Amino acid sequence: MSDIRHNWTKEEISEIYNRPLLTLALDAAIMHRKYHKEGEVQVSSLLSIKTGGCKEDCGYCSQSAKYNTGLQVLALMQVNDVVTAAEKAKAGGASRFCMGAAWREVRDNSDFDRVLEMVQSVNELGLEVCCTLGMLTAEQAERLAQAGLYAYNHNIDTSKEHYSEVISTRTYDDRLNTINNVRKAGITVCSGGIIGLGETDTDRIGMLQTLVNLPTHPESVPINALVPVAGTPMEDNKRVSFDEMVRMVATARLLMPKSAVRLSAGRLEMSIAEQALCFMAGANSIFAGDKLLTTANPEFNADMEMFKILGLSPKAAYADAEHHHHHN
Ligand code: SAM
Ligand code: DTB
Ligand code: SF4
């Protein structure tokens, strides 16, 4: 049977997900070696270009206006400040630069025009440009593609069944619809989820099933561990432990052999040894930089030290692109 499939059943995924941890990790490591250069890790840098005041009620998020998280709301950044941040990220070895905005959806206004300018400028630096701006129409996705956008992040977060327990202001299908618009525009898809939202193993399996059975696997699959934020409904959720991250990463690797599996939020709580098992089990991408969007991430220098210890190296920009929009 081909390694690349789009017709996975829950039973098949469950069989993989429930293997003994080290068996699962080894199986994933073998699959990883078959499709990827060993030790190569994509390094992405994140920047919050518009912070807080979001209309959505995502139960995990520091940026929702519905919760009192004490976060300072910041308007959309200026293009030149974004370019300065991108240059710094590039100098630090990042190959991808992801700009996040706390919007429910993109609107066709001057703010969107400014984001298009940011995309164009960051692309001209030779970085893979990524955005995460909320819901998009097909036309908006097309305009982002024209501006040189390489990837769009839009997470499905959890299973279809658990979704309404986490977010009430939009549906799972809204999410899938935007992902479809991104795909149609020829932008690569970055989509994954969060563990630690009070979901069951069946929900985690269901989330992976949704991702793997998309017509094309997402090129990047971020696996986030909930970073509990005071003031949100999930502030007291139990922290996920490292074995749950390994299980998610390894299962994602086995289901989507060619995709980049990103060890995303939650790394600050993991030791180098715990992260090492994730890299061994198929994680090959991280967010580097002292800050994620609004919460802390490991210090940049600590990550570079980890790379040295583990024999990992940052991957060059556009290494996977058959054609890219980078034009300088
Ligand atoms: N507003 C846009 C959206 O929701 O798509 C873009 C920004 S949003 C913060 C990007 C993603 O970050 C979310 O989909 C979620 O998966 C992740 N995220 C947000 N807060 C998190 C938290 N506290 N812990 C872990 N992941 C989180
Ligand atoms: C993703 O999956 N994780 C990143 C990125 N995509 C945009 C965001 C993590 C956010 C963690 C919480 C915060 O810093 O606000
Ligand atoms: Fe808004 Fe995105 Fe946060 Fe949800 S995850 S509240 S859409 S910024």
Tell me the pLDDT tens digit for each residue of 203-236.
999 999 999 999 999 999 999 999 999 999 999 9
What is the rounded distance in angstroms from the CA atom of residue 121 to the CA atom of residue 131?
A: 13
Q: Which of 143, 247, 262, 267 is catalytic?
A: 262
DSSP helix/strand/coil, 76: coil
- Tokens 């034009």 belong to which residue? 327
What pTM, to 2 d.p., does this model score?
Answer: 0.96
Domain boundaries, the chain: 10-314
Pocket lining: 209 vs ligand 2, CB cutoff 6 Å: no
Residue 322 pLDDT more than 80?
no
Q: What pLDDT score was predicted for residue 19?
A: 98
Q: Which of 96, 175, 190, 247 is catalytic?
A: 190
Q: What pLDDT score was predicted for residue 24?
A: 98
| Residue 223 burial (C-beta neighbours within 10 Å; 0-12, 13-18, 19+) | buried
278 is catalytic: no
Nearest atom in ligand 3 to 56's CA: 6
The proportion of the chain whose per-residue pLDDT surpasses 90, expressed as a percent, equals 93
Contact 281, 249 (CB under 8 A): yes
Which protein residue has the closest C-alpha to ligand 3 atom 4?
58
Tokens of 291: 């800050």
Homologous superfamily, domain 10-314: Aldolase class I (3.20.20.70)
Q: Where does the chain show beta strands of DSSP type E?
A: 40-50, 96-101, 128-132, 151-153, 188-190, 193-195, 220-225, 260-263, 285-288, 313-314
Q: What pLDDT score was predicted for residue 323?
A: 54
Q: What pLDDT score was predicted for residue 327?
A: 46
Q: What pLDDT score was predicted for residue 184?
A: 97
DSSP helix/strand/coil, 131: strand
| Pocket of ligand 1 from Cβ distances under 6 Å | 60-61, 63, 100, 102-103, 132, 134, 154-155, 157, 194, 224, 226-227, 229, 265, 293
Which protein residue has the closest C-alpha to ligand 1 atom 19?
61
Q: What pLDDT score was predicted for residue 320?
A: 74
What does the pLDDT look like over 50-89, one tens digit per residue?
Answer: 999 999 999 999 999 999 999 999 999 999 999 999 999 9
Residue 28: which residues within 8 A CB-CB, separation 6 or more? 249, 250, 251, 253, 254, 281, 282
Q: Which of 96, 98, 143, 247 is catalytic?
A: 98
Residue 162 pLDDT more than 60?
yes
How far away, in angstroms, is 57 Cα from ligand 1 center? 11
What is the rounded distance in angstroms from the CA atom of residue 145 to the CA atom of residue 148?
A: 5
Terminal CA-CA length for the chain: 42
Residue 324 pLDDT more than 80?
no
Using pLDDT thresholds of 50, 70 and 90, give the confidence band for residue 318.
confident
Which protein residue has the closest C-alpha to ligand 1 atom 20?
61
What does the pLDDT look like over 297-307, one tens digit per residue?
Answer: 999 999 999 99
Which protein residue has the closest C-alpha to ligand 1 atom 5?
134
Calculate mean pLDDT across residues 185-198: 98
Calculate mean pLDDT across residues 21-47: 97
Q: What pLDDT score was predicted for residue 200?
A: 98
Pocket lining: 45 vs ligand 2, CB cutoff 6 Å: no
Q: Which of 130, 131, 143, 204 is catalytic?
A: 130
Mean pLDDT over all residues of the chain? 95
Tokens of 283: 């994680």
Pocket lining: 58 vs ligand 3, CB cutoff 6 Å: yes
Pocket lining: 222 vs ligand 2, CB cutoff 6 Å: yes
Q: What pLDDT score was predicted for residue 258?
A: 98
- What is the 3-class SS of 216-258, one letter each residue? CCCCEEEEEECCCCCCCCCCCCCCCCHHHHHHHHHHHHHHCCC
User: Cα–Cα distances in Å, from 285 out to 8, 224, 278?
Assistant: 24, 12, 10
Pocket lining: 295 vs ligand 2, CB cutoff 6 Å: yes
Q: What pLDDT score was predicted for residue 316?
A: 78
The proportion of the chain whose per-residue pLDDT surpasses 70, expressed as a percent, equals 98
